[in-house]
Structure 1
């Protein structure tokens, strides 16, 4: 089976879907990489060739004979116009956020697996690209805050006097939030953290931070995620968080809902109550932001407070972000490839849940609705086909409010 790895074309994307070290861990898979695909992540063409991959300069030649394409970002509809029909794509897709891409893929009779739809089960952990990239994002958020803050993060005792530690508030204790907590603690800050899930308390405390408890109902959802909150809940939450935000030197926000707008947790008036020189770093900037004033990829000043909207934060650390993502892709491909042949088992929960399009048929229910397609008829009594795999069913699509 031939796996093609094109250069990422989305503006600002520096990651690559496969790295040289992982190429050799794909038995029975012929890997072809577009020339220069790894350059922005500091993986040269020679390194790929040393690991057994072929390097192809022309995209058309790269895709010729390929069965699977691995990408970080999905192709644009314009790119897809030149793709051969019937390819299988593995990437992040966020299908609800860009249904036009899903339609273009369906028009090319593609089969598409979106890694942001992985079910949160133990067996899927090694493929969990959302979590691996959130780890990078959380680390970068803390570093960005330390760079912007006109104060030290750690407690310093000097001959000139004692400098108190910075006070950091992390809102959302999912993967990104926990990594932000750990990094801020390593830098010496005094860290407090809040999450709508009561279960997050133990994880926050294990990192040496203080868990902020508010008189609100816990919002535990399926698979360890928080469930989506009502506007009434969010209003009350903001009222209770206002005091915590005002007391912080740094606020790091990490709450995101894949495929939907991020919840607004920090209002303009809350930012205005922060001390001069304070900083807000918003990891949900690309999905609208957790802060009311956030602009993706920009620093916004509210009085003397800076609000940074981090856009695609994992791309800012492309070497390790690509390494982690490539390992996720390789582990996922193990479910799709048998004896060097593409043979996905659609009866597998992971394969079924992540399959958005199968041979041109859109399976993802919410995306079908967004495209104006009728719901798929449920299978009353699924039977296996001659290959021993179950026929296609509509993938599950749990709401994932990630405080990650």
Structure 2
């Protein structure tokens, strides 16, 4: 196979890589770059460090709040509940309730949502070869909000029972992303600038539809709940809300890992992907469904939380490169840590009031988005 040389900006090294390197995630003998074994060990160290970071972040996040709980009590309380020995410890019952019933479900939900949005961001960026793509900017989050609001206030898809909210969010996300992708195409090609503009337009329309659904409903309390939910919040976290989004994020990430080589080829361009035997139409449809399903599942329980899928994949790509076999798991762990700490800030900065977590992620992600545009310049947001 004739080698295809491409400049890997995402790796942050300025090193010239070949097509074979990009697809296999390793350097070939005789070329500049770390040996394959050293590269693999470095990736394992990063993965292990992030996994430990997730655990430590969960413990620390549970400990922090208006009523502080020592990390040792958090460990012992969790183990007591896991071993079905709740109430047998020597710590106050109040602390046990705070840990197990209030904070731990919320922190775990932030971990799941952060991982899901980050993985979805990786997929959307590979799907359109655009570093500016993420579930929020491409309208997936706004579309999911429309679907969820329709379920909550209009009773759409009520036949699905407990899965109605997730089903509505998924349908809205898939419809929005599909519309953006079709509108951004120009003779089979997708312009990064056109994609961002179409995403902003569709997101605006979806936000207007959500507002229209809210103001035309007679239930004022439900309408206020939906409007608060659209800003993004994990305040309603409960143990029974964790199962579905966790399963969707885990299964979706594993499915994507099995197709990491195809994602790598897609990132190199349509012609390269076709040369490697990828059915682009079918594969893109699969990616839209999986990414929308992940986005819809997490948005259904957290509301619209923006820019996580933009920031985390971009920062992770600077550390581990563009190989999706490494990028996907590291992005999931990095997103979990990031959103766990943003949620800590959301519930502690203005005590006793709580800042909607979507507001904080927008305050952090907005400047990052502008800086990314200015750095890449104009239409140069396409990943190479």
Task: Please classify the TM superposition score into its range, dividing by the shorter chain length.
Answer: under 0.3
Structure showing greater relative contact order (alpha-carbon pairs closer than 8 Å, 6 or more residues apart): 2
**Higher strand content, 1 or 2:** 1
TM-score by length of 2: 0.26
Q: Between Structure 1 and Structure 2, whose CA radius of gyration is higher?
A: 1
**Higher helix content, 1 or 2:** 2
